[in-house]
């Protein structure tokens, strides 16, 4: 199973990966052209093919990275020795902060997975994440802290939803709730770090 090797990437290869990440995440696989990526990287288009041979291969390299950020390292937070409250706060804070830095990430991942779910099977395996344990810990942790039992899968989805959706739906929310004012939107999302946390506490009776 461990057929990975570590290689040192050249300067150019790094430039390409950076550029490809930016372009793919913003435009999606179908909307991005190899010319776009070459321009962004400041190199010749043929070089892309020299290093990656096909658009698809370059894309897969990017997609894997992106998926790793998107599926947060729940294990680390949930399996830590903190109280449930602290864990929840840490998770929401860190995840929303990460998403604010990568605002296009959610829509990119959701769109590409919806177009080509096949990619997922292999990618998930490489992640090595098994959520079952995490879920059991969550549910037990809540009850032991005196909270109300709530199905762990639904709780996890609720948490992710409340963090991810406002980032994914930025354009429509900015328009609908803030008349297009971007600063108000940013402020709103920052507020959510505290408000989502409180919402979860109340819902779980913690």
Partner DNA sequence: GTCTATATCCAGATAGAC
Partner DNA sequence: GTCTATCTGGATATAGAC
* Residue 151, Cβ density class (10 Å: 0-12 exposed, 13-18 middle, ≥19 buried): exposed
Say whether residue 43 binds DNA (CB under 7 A): yes
By the 8 A CB rule, do 108 and 65 touch? no
Q: Which is nearer to DNA, 14 or 86 (CB)?
A: 14
Q: Which is nearer to a second copy, 5 or 121 (CB)?
A: 121
Binding site for a second copy (CB under 8 A): 27-28, 30-31, 71, 104, 107, 109-111, 113-115, 117, 120-121, 124, 129, 131, 148, 150-151, 153-154, 156-158, 160-162, 164-166, 168-173, 175-177, 180, 188, 191-192, 195-196, 199-200, 202-205
**Residue 149 Cβ, how far from a second copy at the closest point, in Å?**
12
The residue count for binding DNA (CB under 7 A) is 18
**Residue 7 Cβ, how far from DNA at the closest point, in Å?**
11
Say whether residue 119 binds DNA (CB under 7 A): no
3-state secondary structure 81-97: CCCHHHHHHHHHHHHHH
**Residue 32 Cβ, how far from a second copy at the closest point, in Å?**
9
Q: Which is nearer to a second copy, 17 or 196 (CB)?
A: 196
By the 8 A CB rule, do 28 and 108 touch? yes
**Residue 12 Cβ, how far from a second copy at the closest point, in Å?**
28
Any idea which residue has 């370059």 for tokens?
58
Which residues are CB-contacts of 37 (< 8 A; sequence separation ≥ 6)?
16, 19, 20, 23, 24, 48, 58
Say whether residue 54 binds DNA (CB under 7 A): yes
Binds DNA by CB under 7 A, chosen from 19, 20, 25, 32: 32
**Residue 80 Cβ, how far from DNA at the closest point, in Å?**
42
Closest CA to 90 of 143, 155, 33, 163: 163
Say whether residue 39 binds DNA (CB under 7 A): no
What is the three-class DSSP state of 124? helix
- Return the structure tokens found at 195: 């408000």
Closest CA to 148 of 89, 79, 201: 201
- The site for DNA (CB under 7 A) is made up of 10-12, 32-35, 43-47, 49-50, 53-56
């Amino acid at each position: 199973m461990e057929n990975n090797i570590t290689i040192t990437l050249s300067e150019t290869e790094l430039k390409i990966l950076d550029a490809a990440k930016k372009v793919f995440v913003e435009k999606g696989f179908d909307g991005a052209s190899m010319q776009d990526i070459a321009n962004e990287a400041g190199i010749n288009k043929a070089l892309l093919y020299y290093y990656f041979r096909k658009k698809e291969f370059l894309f897969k390299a990017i997609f894997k990275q992106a998926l790793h950020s998107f599926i947060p390292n729940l294990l680390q937070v949930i399996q830590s020795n903190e109280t449930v409250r602290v864990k929840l706060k840490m998770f929401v804070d860190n995840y929303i902060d990460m998403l604010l830095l990568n605002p296009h990430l959610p829509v990119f991942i959701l769109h590409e997975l919806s177009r080509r779910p096949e990619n997922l099977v292999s990618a998930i395996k490489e992640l090595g994440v098994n959520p079952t344990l995490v879920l059991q810990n969550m549910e037990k942790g809540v009850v032991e802290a005196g909270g109300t039992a709530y199905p762990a899968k639904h709780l996890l989805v609720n948490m992710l939803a409340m963090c991810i959706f406002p980032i994914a739906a930025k354009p429509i929310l900015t328009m609908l709730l803030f008349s297009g004012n971007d600063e108000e939107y940013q402020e709103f999302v920052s507020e959510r770090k505290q408000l989502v946390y409180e919402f979860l506490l109340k819902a779980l009776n913690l």
